[in-house]
Amino acid sequence: MANTPRHFLDLTEMPVEELRNMLALSSRMKKTLKANEPAKKPLEGKVLAMIFDKPSTRTRVSFDVGMRQLGGEAIMLTGTEMQLGRGETIADTARVLSRYVDAIMIRILSHEALLELAAHATVPVINGLTRRSHPCQVMADVMTFEEHRGSIEGRTVAWTGDDNNVLASWAHAAERFKFRLNVATPPQLSPGKQMKDFIRATKADIHLGHDPEAAVTGADCVVTDTWVSMGDKDGEHRHNLLKPYQVNSKLMSLAKPEAIFMHCLPAHRGEEVTDEVIDGPQSVVFDEAENRLHAQKGILAWCFGERA
């Protein structure tokens, strides 16, 4: 009987020691790459299938380049071009792909579809974003915070915007890595029962509210995201609700003077963040985007049993 594959589905699925191990692998490989030193190729001969049911720039390119740097390669598949788009089940897709490839990364809105894929795959499955969560992103975010400001433990991260997948992964990270998360959302776009149950069950240091100024005051890091996630209906109503949650210089000035600004990108400049902030001295958004590559190399190597 084969061992259970090492899936990467959500930050809550793994003990923090494992997450720390992935980050240590990521940092080590990043240092080797930056120093132009000869790198180990732990994924030599391995193939990653990447299924994208939704658009992507960062996730797609960083996984592809990451696989090449690790000695393997990636195959790009889109939901509509696959038989998945004509009704083949996720379970059968998982069974078939497991016979060809060594790991699967999927971006699909339905979190249940991700879990179904993982349940039937005999190779590791990686969550490349669902409506519920975006764990690869927040691994890169934790890595970025710690590179700029040291350990995230005991620090305060402020989220201002709507309730979405990136926020859910930040909440999972707050619980695992033990930092405080202040959340400000409009009442109509607040986290639902799942998040509230999670906070209650884990006693994580997460504070839900509606006042962006209160959330940001004294924070070490300010985070926001698009007001219209993939799968959301765009509209004036949504924009009007979210306008007071924009990260601009006035809001940013309430955070600690040394606070950093993060955004998973793509950004909608002039909406959730002003040019002044995203292009300003506190913004680390392009380091954060770069770290998608390094963090995912750590995740991929971990999936194949590498240890730091």
List the catalytic residues.
107, 134, 137, 225, 264, 292
127 is a site residue for ligand NVA (CB under 6 A): no
Nearest-approach distance from CB 53 to ligand NVA, in angstroms: 12
* Residues that bind ligand CP in the complex, under the rule CB under 6 A: 56-59, 129, 137, 264-265
**Residue 164, phi-psi category: left (phi > 0), alpha (psi -120 to 50), beta (remainder):** beta
Cα 175 versus chain centre, distance? 15
CB closer to ligand CP, 252 vs 262 = 262
Q: Which does 57 bind (CB under 5 to 8 A by kind): ligand NVA, ligand CP, none?
A: ligand CP
Nearest-approach distance from CB 254 to ligand NVA, in angstroms: 24
- The one-letter amino acid code at 166 reads V
DSSP 170: H
Q: Which tokens sit at 148?
A: 């700029």
CB closer to ligand NVA, 96 vs 241 = 241
Q: Which does 297 bind (CB under 5 to 8 A by kind): ligand CP, ligand NVA, none?
A: none
Binding site: which residues?
A: 56-59, 83, 107, 134-137, 165, 225, 229-230, 264-265, 292
CB closer to ligand NVA, 65 vs 214 = 65
195 is a site residue for ligand NVA (CB under 6 A): no
Phi/psi for 280 (5° steps) reads -85, 175
221 is a site residue for ligand NVA (CB under 6 A): no
Euclidean distance between CA atoms 63 and 66, whole angstroms = 5
Nearest-approach distance from CB 164 to ligand NVA, in angstroms: 4
98-103, Cβ contacts within 8 angstroms, sequence gap of 24 or more: 98/122, 98/123, 100/47, 100/49, 101/47, 101/48, 101/49, 101/75, 102/43, 102/46, 102/47, 102/48, 102/72, 102/304, 103/46, 103/47, 103/48, 103/49, 103/300, 103/303, 103/304
226 is a site residue for ligand NVA (CB under 6 A): yes
Nearest-approach distance from CB 29 to ligand CP, in angstroms: 20
The interface with ligand NVA within residues 245-274 (CB under 6 A) comprises 264
Region of 16-24, 38-46, 196-204, 223-231 interacting with ligand NVA (CB under 6 A): 223-231
Cα 296 versus chain centre, distance? 10
DSSP 152: -
Nearest-approach distance from CB 286 to ligand CP, in angstroms: 12
Euclidean distance between CA atoms 182 and 17, whole angstroms = 24
Which listed residue (225, 272, 288, 306) binds ligand NVA by CB under 6 A? 225
Grouping H, G, I as helix, E, B as strand and the rest as coil, residue 302 is helix
Q: State whether the Cα torsion 43-286-177-272 is positive or negative.
A: negative
Binding site residues, ligand NVA, CB under 6 A? 164-166, 225-226, 229-230, 264
